[in-house]
Chain A
């Protein structure tokens, strides 16, 4: 049997800060245990890329407003952490529905710092991060459930796939 991924499930799987992350992983594991195979249609895949990228870019703009403050505090772990927590809390109050993405981006800024990233290139890093979303989604979905893309099947396999039941 086959399970077809949808955009919201993809968001839940990829973004560990998504409020439905655990549930999304649970859904995938349940169907995995039932020996289901996962497929994602080209359309769903592309839609997930575009939407995730758009939402992340909005949050990147909000984060980069504090770019110069972050550069100043970069070498002081405690001060940087406290600054980011305070600012993110403020943002979450204004835009609670973006909480998932604030958490996601916060973790990426910390990753950048942990990997000795130069704060003067934080802008380029975050810009590339949002541009790399399609790659991130592809990897995560392959790792989580080895989903098959129907559009990549050979013509005989595609023909066979028309008989799939969901």
Chain B
């Protein structure tokens, strides 16, 4: 597989900014599903945590951009393989927990998530994935409309295919897996940052496709082990 280069290029010419408006919101929703469980927190008399939620979600634009810039650096790697989202996840968590402004709030919500029982957590993950799937469909309406206005649609098409594949990946896993696999969240979070890395010109166009193909294969080969050696071998040789 060809290497990923972090050279910045002006991709914004080809990509409407509306596509990326909610990347942070969606990423943080995956990373911190309890953000979506305000009723659970209220039932448990944990009103104080609502302030932490607000702090994480409503961060100033400048800070949000800086955070995304650092986070996208973590996902832009050479020779992407099926384990990449898992490896990046540890670094992402580390970065968020140690962030001066939102680190404490993230840690508090993490602790709260751990107090939920397994069934509640699984339900939360599933609901969050369904919501994410709905949000992706909304973004795809934007890409569809943008395609009529833009002359060079190669990039918009690639982004739309990526979003469709991510949505399909989530939907297939939600409908076929009896037990929720946390790796699905790693893949989803990684995917959103990968998409934002494209906007930031940190990915070459041809490399952007690599992860899309990988997700597509993982969706199609749900009956095959995710870490089947042949995938890794093939992805390394393409």
Q: Which residues of A contact B (CB under 8 A)?
A: 41-43, 46-47, 49-50, 53-54, 57, 60-61, 64-65, 67-68, 71, 120-121, 123-124, 127-128, 130-131, 134-135, 138, 151-152
Bin the interface of chain B by size: 20 to 34
Q: Do B234 and A47 touch across chains, with their CB atoms under 8 A apart?
A: yes
For the complex, give the distance between the alpha carbons of A166 and B234 in Å: 22
Residue B223 is within 8 A (CB to CB) of chain A in the complex: yes
For the complex, give the distance between the alpha carbons of A113 and B223 in Å: 34
For the complex, give the distance between the alpha carbons of A53 and B209 in Å: 10
Q: Do B147 and A46 touch across chains, with their CB atoms under 8 A apart?
A: no
Q: Which residues of B contact A (CB under 8 A)?
A: 140, 143-144, 147-148, 151, 153-154, 157-158, 160-161, 164-165, 168, 209, 213, 216-217, 219-220, 223-224, 228, 230-231, 233-234, 238
For the complex, give the distance between the alpha carbons of A41 and B230 in Å: 9
Residues of B close to A47: CB separation below 8 A: 234, 238
Residues of A close to B157: CB separation below 8 A: 57, 60-61, 64, 123, 127
Q: Do B230 and A151 touch across chains, with their CB atoms under 8 A apart?
A: yes
Q: Do B153 and A131 touch across chains, with their CB atoms under 8 A apart?
A: no
Q: Do B160 and A138 touch across chains, with their CB atoms under 8 A apart?
A: no
For the complex, give the distance between the alpha carbons of A54 and B223 in Å: 24
A124-B144, A135-B220 are known; give 16 further A-B pairs, CB within 8 A.
A43-B234, A46-B230, A46-B231, A49-B220, A50-B213, A53-B216, A61-B157, A64-B153, A64-B157, A120-B148, A123-B143, A123-B144, A131-B216, A134-B220, A138-B220, A152-B224
Q: Do A42 and B230 touch across chains, with their CB atoms under 8 A apart?
A: yes
- Do A123 and B160 contact each other (CB < 8 Å), given the known contacts A46-B234, A151-B228? yes
Contact of B160 among A65, A71, A124, A134 (CB under 8 A): A124
The residue of chain A having its C-beta at the shortest distance from the C-beta of B215 within the complex is A131
Residues of B close to A42: CB separation below 8 A: 224, 228, 230-231, 234
8 A-B contacts (beta carbon < 8 Å) = A42-B224, A43-B234, A61-B153, A67-B148, A124-B160, A127-B161, A131-B164, A152-B224
Residues of B close to A41: CB separation below 8 A: 230
Q: How far is the CB of B146 from chain A (nearest CB, A)?
A: 9
For the complex, give the distance between the alpha carbons of A61 and B224 in Å: 32
Closest 3 A/B residue pairs (Cβ): A123-B147, A134-B220, A42-B230
Residues of B close to A138: CB separation below 8 A: 220
Q: Do A46 and B160 touch across chains, with their CB atoms under 8 A apart?
A: no
Q: How far is the CB of B218 from chain A (nearest CB, A)?
A: 10
* From B140, B220, B223, residue with most partner A Cβ within 10 Å: B220
Residues of A close to B230: CB separation below 8 A: 41-43, 46, 151
Q: Do A151 and B216 touch across chains, with their CB atoms under 8 A apart?
A: no
- Do A54 and B209 contact each other (CB < 8 Å), given the known contacts A123-B148, A131-B216? yes
Residues of A close to B158: CB separation below 8 A: 57
Residues of A close to B160: CB separation below 8 A: 123-124, 127
- Do A134 and B216 contact each other (CB < 8 Å), given the known contacts A46-B231, A127-B164? yes
Residues of A close to B209: CB separation below 8 A: 54
For the complex, give the distance between the alpha carbons of A130 and B165 in Å: 10
For the complex, give the distance between the alpha carbons of A57 and B161 in Å: 9
The residue of chain B having its C-beta at the shortest distance from the C-beta of A126 within the complex is B157
* From A50, A53, A152, residue with most partner B Cβ within 10 Å: A50
